[in-house]
Amino acid sequence: MNDDNPMNFPETVIAGVHAAVASALPCEALPIRNALLLLRSGQNIPIRALVTCSLYPEQSGIDAGTALDLIHIGLQQLHSRLVATTGASALLGPAATVLAGDYLTTGAFRLLVRCADMRVLALVSDAVNRASELEAANLGLDQRTRYDPSLLLQTIRLLAAPLGEAAGATGAALAGYPESLVFTARRYGECLVSSYVLLQEAEAIGPSQARTALHCAALDLCLQATEEARAIATATGNSRPLELAELIAARIGANASEGSGEFTFLDPPLSERSQNVAGDG
């Protein structure tokens, strides 16, 4: 995929993600369509695909990045919320939630096979393994995070990190970056994806101290991602990571100043999963 106009980069990637999903996940069953709405929601962006493609905007980058977003939905928004009383899992029911999550995950690996790159498969497999372990460990932390907002922020970032790191490392590996820049790209991906996840948390709650804390944490991570993106631009001449980081920073700023804006999500934020009392603000 050639990106001749950098200003069209996010829109071009999102269109590519939708095309990749359509080709890899042809099932039209209602549970599958509802699960995919989590990716196509107007208030949601495929942040992991955008990170990967900011580093390598060709078809294999689209496929690998889309796979990471599908895995995020299947693992972190469906399977880990199987017994949720609100959100997509509650609407689908346990059986449909399991089947939809499995289908999205198999579709993700179908896209990874199309990449035909064992480095990518190894990076993503390791990330999925780490994310699964963290999600399993987090199941016992619900009561602790309920009364500790700082632990909640740590937990959200911890859960977002593996797939974010994989998005950055995968894009850098596909682009043929040296190992030092792969590490930089890994940090860029981890910080930017975590920043966006925290932003989603903030968008899902009303004005409160918790919302302000989420915005501050999201902005701090975004600034860290911006520094890593600037280092990548200096070393390679690739300004797309910097453009993406600035786009997320602008959205954080707009949401923070808006304060009372209303957003609609099909699935509850992680703060609900942890029964965070900050949501009462």
Domain ranges of the chain: 6-280
Give the per-residue pLDDT at 269: 39
Give the per-residue pLDDT at 202: 87
Buried-state track 193-226, b at ≥16 Cβ within 10 A, e below 16: bbbbbbbbbbbbbeeeebbebbbebbbebbebbb
- Cα angle vertex 117, ends 76, 32, to 5°? 35
Show the tokens assigned to 115: 């990449």
What is the rounded average pLDDT for all residues in the chain?
A: 82
CATH architecture type of domain 6-280 = Orthogonal Bundle (1.10)
Q: Is the Cβ–Cβ distance between 189 and 163 less than 8 Å?
A: no
DSSP type of residue 102: H
Q: How confident is the model at residue 195 (pLDDT cuts 50, 70, 90)?
A: very high
Q: Please tell me the distance from the alpha carbon of residue 206 to that of residue 9, in angstroms, as a whole number.
A: 31
Q: Please tell me the distance from the alpha carbon of residue 124 to that of residue 171, in angstroms, as a whole number.
A: 11
pLDDT in tens, 235-274: 999 999 999 999 999 999 988 877 544 333 233 333 343 3
Give the per-residue pLDDT at 35: 79
Q: Is the Cβ–Cβ distance between 279 and 90 less than 8 Å?
A: no
Mean pLDDT of 197-202: 90
pLDDT over 70 for what percent of the chain?
79
pTM of the model: 0.84
pLDDT at 166 over 90: yes
pLDDT in tens, 10-32: 999 999 999 999 999 998 888 78
pLDDT at 125 over 90: yes
pLDDT at 142 over 90: no
